Structure formats: structure tokens, C-alpha cells
Amino acid sequence: MFLGTLVYGIVNSVILALVALGFNLTFGISGIANFAYGALYVLTGYGVWILLNEVGLPLFLAAPAMVVLTAMAGALLYRVVLIRLRGMAISEVIATFGVGLAVLEFFRYLGFIGFEYTLPPLLDGSLSIGPVFLDLQRALIVIVGVTLTGVLWLFTHHTRLGLAFRGIAQDEHTAMCLGIHSDRVAMFSLAFGGGLCALAAVVILPIGTISVDAGYDVLLEALAVCIVGGLGSAVGVIVASFILGLAQTYTAMYMGSHWMMIVTLVAILLILTIRPSGLFGKQKELEERI
């Protein structure tokens, strides 16, 4: 019982981390809080569903195709909208929020509600860890989560583009002086964030149904993890998703699933009140509080 909760708590934590990685990457690099993030997530879900059931593509083509398409949607969001609003944080938030709202509610309008909107799991079957049974899809989520974190670390520390990302994140003007194209990097950051978001959607959505409301929840969860961990901090995201993931699972276990989201939201409020820069964010502390 306790062990089972722990295993599912860990899976839940990895899900949170996966969901938050893309949001955090975008914010960490370009300082854009992409409030259309949940919409990108749901967009991927429905996109894959449409490709599978309406177009008839096999899953191994549909999923990568949607990851690429969502990444392009992220880039497009930057090229068309955000590029005109750079530096005005509030306008960025309102604009991305507006885009997200339009996309999500459009799906609701088209009638994408119901239990038939599910994605087939990438892996079938289950394995047992001691007395606990775990389906392979959840195991896959953990594997993808761990691999992705590793790959991201290698990417940001050892490739040109990754280093450019970190350069922009530290000081945009200096990076520009060194010949880094700030607009292009910001666009890449949104595309990457979108791609990661899509990847998360492809592996996570098979364990539930795709719904419009999931879009709002995903945005909130990504925000929660990033705020608790410290916006833009990679270590923070991982630690925070474990704190929140385990806390969520145990509350769901002992108090009912109604309380799961409340725990998350309370965590956001507590952290913002006590330590607005999050557990691991340092640089922003000066700017955000006087």
C-alpha cells in the first residue's frame, strides 16, 4: 500500500517534471512565460488523435509529426505575436494567455469532449516491482523523463545552440554583442518549449483522456512546478516536481482526489509569499522584491 503509493508518487513526479520542462526552458532562456503552454499540450493530444483516427497514420508517424508541428506552432507564436511585444512581460502574458484561451475553447467548441478521445499507449503490458504492478506506459514515462533530462543537460552544456541559449538567459545584451541572434534564439526557445510540451503530451496522455480542461490544469501544474522550483532553474524543476508529485499523490490517497489540485495551488501561494524566487532561483530575487 505505502510502497504502491510511493511508486505512483514517483511516476506522478516525473509527469510533473515532464510537463514543466518545456515551460521552464522557454522562460529560462527568453524570459517569456508562455501561458499558451497548456493549449500546446492539448493541441498535441487532439492532433495525434486526428492523425490516428481521421487521417489513418500509424502511431509511430503521428506522434513525431505532432511533436514537430507543435514545435512549429511555438515558433509561429513567437514570430507572429510575441516578437512585437518583447520586453513587455505583462503584454506577453496577456497575449499568450489569449492565444491559449482561443485554442482551448476552440476545441471545446468543435466538440472534443468525451471518453473516446484517448491515445493508444506506446507500450502495452505491465511489470511488477515487488508487490506493486506498474503498466509499461508509466514505466516508459519515467524512462523518457530521465532520458530527456539527461539529453537536455548535455544539449545546454555541450552544443553551440545550447550554449547560446544559456548565454541569452544570462544576459541578453552581452549575448547580442557576441553575435548571438537574440530573436532567433527566443524563437527557438519557444519551439523547443513547444516540442518538449508535445513530447510530454504524447507519452503522458495515453494514461488518461484528452480534455480541454487538461490544458488549464497542465498550465497550472507547469506554473506550480516552475514557481516552487524557481523559474528558469533546471535543478529546481526536478526537486519541485518530486515535492509536488509526492505531496499530490499522498493527498489524493488520504484525503481524496479533490484535494490534489488544492495542494498544488497552495504550494504556489506559499512559495510566492515566503520566497518568490522559488527554492532554487537566485538571480531574480533582487528584481522581484524590494
Partner 1 sequence: MEVHPLLQVQELTKDFGGLRALDRISFTLNQGESLGIIGPNGSGKTTLVNVITGFLRPTGGRVRFRGRTISGMGPHRIARLGLGRTFQMARPFYHLPAYKNLVIPLFSPRVRRLAGGRYGDRDAVAIDLLEEVGFERDSFVPFKPASVLPHGYLKRLELARALAIRPELLILDELFSGLSMAEVSSTVPIIEHLQAQGITLIMIEHRLRELFRIVDRVIVLNFGRKIAEGTPAEVMESEDVKKAYLGSE
Partner 2 sequence: MLYLLGPRALPLILLGMGIFLAPPYWKKVLVNTAIFGILALSWDLLVCTGLVSLGQALFFGVGAYIAGTLNHYWGWPWWVTLPTATVAGGLLCAGILAPVLRLRGIYFAMVTLVLPLMLVRIIEATKILGGTEGLSGLQTFPSSWVELVLSLAAFFAVLFGFRRLMGTDYGLVLQGIRDNDRSVLSSGINIHWFKAQALFIAGATGAFAGAFMTHTYMFVGMPVFALDYSILPIAAAVVGGMGTLAGPAVGAFILIPLSEVLRALGALRIVIYGLFLVVFIVALPEGLFPYLSRKYHQFERWVEVE
**Closest approach of Cβ 87 to partner 1, in Å?**
16
Q: Which is nearer to partner 1, 118 or 283 (CB)?
A: 283
Max CA separation in the chain (angstroms): 58
Contact 25, 34 (CB under 8 A): no
Contact 40, 197 (CB under 8 A): yes
Q: Residue 213 is which amino acid?
A: D
**Closest approach of Cβ 281 to partner 1, in Å?**
12
Q: Which stretch binds partner 2 (CB under 8 A): 4-12, 106-114, 115-123, 236-244?
A: 106-114
Q: C-alpha dihedral over 141, 121, 200, 15, to 10 degrees?
A: -40
Here's the x/- map for partner 1, 224-263, by CB under 8 A: it reads as ----------------------------------------
Contact 145, 242 (CB under 8 A): no
Contact 212, 231 (CB under 8 A): no
Strands (E), 122-275: 126-129, 132-135
Is position 282 an interface residue for partner 1 (rule: CB under 8 A)? Answer: yes
Q: Which stretch binds partner 1 (CB under 8 A): 10-18, 81-89, 124-132, 282-290?
A: 282-290
**Closest approach of Cβ 192 to partner 2, in Å?**
20
Q: Which is nearer to partner 1, 182 or 283 (CB)?
A: 283
The 3-state DSSP class for residue 272 equals helix
Is position 106 an interface residue for partner 2 (rule: CB under 8 A)? Answer: yes
Apex 206 CA angle, 203 and 207, nearest 5: 105
Applying CB under 8 A, which residues contact partner 2? 33, 81, 84-85, 89-91, 93-95, 97-103, 105-106, 108-109, 216, 220, 223, 227, 256, 258-259, 261-262, 265-266, 268-269, 272-273, 276, 288-290
